[in-house]
Amino acid sequence: MSDESQNQTGRAFFGRRKGKPLRERQARNLDKLLPELAVDPASQAPADIRNLFLTPVKRVRLEIGFGGGEHLFHRLVEDPFTGFIGIEPFVNSMAKMLGRVDQAIPGNLRLYDDDAVDVLDWLPDASIDQIDLLYPDPWPKKKHWKRRFVSKANLDRFYRVLKPGGLFCFASDIDSYVNWTLLHCKQHGGFEWQAETAADWLTPYDNWPSTRYEAKARREGRGSAYLTFVRR
């Protein structure tokens, strides 16, 4: 049985869910602030997902696995008329993100602290303008490739929830995962890679805030790829 066929559902295989003990403020934010911002995939999704947010938004963007929240927070401030749904199951990373917004909760933010598949299956068809999957866990050992989030099952989900012409943006410093993603998107057929020259996928996205994962990759001598696909 192939690695891919062993994960037909596309559900995540998490590593650690929690790291070092949380500080008092972090624990309080998780208890009090996260419920105010959390989406509930057990509820009925609004017909227009833009109504999920407290302030008027023109488009909706989903970031899967936002880590410490550097990129997500940057985009929130940069684009207040886009609604952002951020997903991060690692408790300490969620606590960091909440610490960035606890003094002034953005009206264009919603969060989820478990498997992204829950949200993807909850969202209405053609409701999302952009999906960001930035430096996801590469599961570098071949025997673990089945755990990678990019899979046929999840590309099917992306295709369903993205609007025609919507974007799927993927960044990684692991060559095997970059190649894996290119191959899977090509095989899927619903996504068109936008690169025409090498510079198109070696150049960071516009107004890109470098993340700690990217900084670590550079210290270790690895470059990054920034892939953009359009949903046909």
Distance CA 51, CA 57 (A): 8
Spell out the alpha helix ranges (H) of the chain.
Answer: 24-28, 34-37, 70-78, 91-101, 116-122, 152-161, 175-188, 198-202, 212-219
Annotated catalytic residue: which of 137, 156, 200, 206?
137
Distance CA 135, CA 140 (A): 13
User: Which residues neighbour 218 within 8 Å (Cβ) at sequence distance 6 or greater?
Assistant: none
User: Which residues neighbour 82 within 8 Å (Cβ) at sequence distance 6 or greater?
Assistant: 57, 58, 59, 60, 61, 75, 108, 129
Q: Are 127 and 60 in contact (CB under 8 A)?
A: yes
Distance CA 186, CA 123 (A): 24
Q: Which SS3 state, helix, strand or coil, does residue 109 take?
A: strand
Distance CA 67, CA 61 (A): 16
- With CA atoms as reference, report the closest residue to 201 among 165, 164, 159, 173: 173
Whether 137 is catalytic = yes
Catalytic residues: 137
